[in-house]
Structure 1
C-alpha cells in the first residue's frame, strides 16, 4: 500500500475526502454508504493509474473511470464534464488488494467490489467494467 493512501466508501465517485495536507478534497455532495472500497493513493506510484471523475451534465450523477480514452470520449460527446482525479488505483492484482468494477442502472453508476457484482445484477444493475484494484489496508 502506498504511503498516504486514503479511504473511500461505496459512494466512491460521489463523496471523496482527503485527510492529507495539500491534497484537495473532492466536493461532498452525497451521503456515504459506509461500505468500504479500499484505499486509493493520493499520488501516482509504480503500478498505478489515475481514476477520473466525470459529472453527467443533465443531472447530478457521476461516473468514475480509469480509462483516459473513455474520459475523453465522454467529455467530447458533450454530456459529461471532467472533474479531476480523486486518486490513483493499482493496475495489478495482488495480496492486500481488492478488485473493483463499475456497474450502471440507467444514468447512475456505482463502483463496487467485483466480488459483489452478482448481488448488484440481481438488483437490476448491469455491467461490471473493471476499474482496477484498491489497497485493502492503509
Structure 2
C-alpha cells in the first residue's frame, strides 16, 4: 500500500509522496487508485517569467524558497505511481528563462531536449487518457512572453479569448483525491 501525508502550505494541501512505501502482499490488492493521487500545483516562477508545475511537496517548498508563487490553481490530481490507463506527464524547463512546459509526448520531449533550448526534468505525475465521471480534460495553452499553462477544458475558451493558443490536450486529471 502506498501511503501519503499532506501538508497545508500557502493555502494548498500538498501531498507528500517522498516517504511512500509499497507493500506487495496480497492483502493490498484491493487498494483503490485514490491512495496514489496527489495534487498538480501551478506556480509562477520568480519574476513571473513562466509557469511551473509540481505534484511533490518537497519540490513545492523548494520552489517557494526560490521565489516561485502559488497561483491558487490546482488543475486536479495526478497519479504518483504507474496505474493501468495512465501515461507519464513530462516536464521540461527552458534553458533561456524560468519557463516550463508539460507534455505527454515522448517525441516532443526528446525533440525539445535535443534542441538544446529545453532541459528534460522528469515525470511530474501520471494522467489517465480516458474520460470518467471523476475526471476533467486538461489542455496545454501558450502565450508569447507569458509561457505555457495547464488549464481545464472549461476555461480553454476564456484563455483563447485572452490571446492564448491551444497547444493540445494533456489527458485527464482527477477532480478529487
Match for residue 59 of structure 2? 25
Contact 2:55/2:125, CA 8 A, preserved across alignment: no
Match for residue 125 of structure 2? 87
In the alignment, which of 156, 174, 177 is matched to residue 117 of structure 1?
A: 156
Match for residue 71 of structure 1? 109
Deviation readout 1:57-116 (Å, 9 max, x if unpaired): 011100100111110111111110001111111111111001000000125100000221
Structure-2 change in CA distance of 1:128 and 1:15 (3 Å): closer
Contact 2:94/2:119, CA 8 A, preserved across alignment: yes
Could you tell me how far 1:137 is from its partner in structure 2?
1.1
User: How well do the aligned residues superpose, as a CA RMSD in angstroms?
Assistant: 2.0
Could you tell me how far 1:128 is from its partner in structure 2?
4.3
2:83 alignment partner, SS class: coil
Could you tell me how far 1:17 is from its partner in structure 2?
4.6
1:7 alignment partner, SS class: strand
Structure 2, unpaired ranges of 5+: 1-32, 45-50
**TM-score of the pair, normalised by structure 2:** 0.69
Q: Count matched residues.
A: 134
Contact 2:103/2:170, CA 8 A, preserved across alignment: yes
Contact 1:4/1:42, CA 8 A, preserved across alignment: yes
CA–CA separation in structure 2 for the residues paired with 1:48 and 1:6: 14
**Is residue 43 of structure 2 the alignment partner of residue 5 of structure 1?**
no
Contact 2:53/2:124, CA 8 A, preserved across alignment: no
**TM-score of the pair, normalised by structure 1:** 0.87
Moved over 6 A (4+): none
Could you tell me how far 1:36 is from its partner in structure 2?
2.5
Q: Which has the higher helix share?
A: 2
Task: Return the index of the structure with the highest Cα Rg.
Answer: 2
CA–CA separation in structure 1 for the residues paired with 2:53 and 2:150: 12
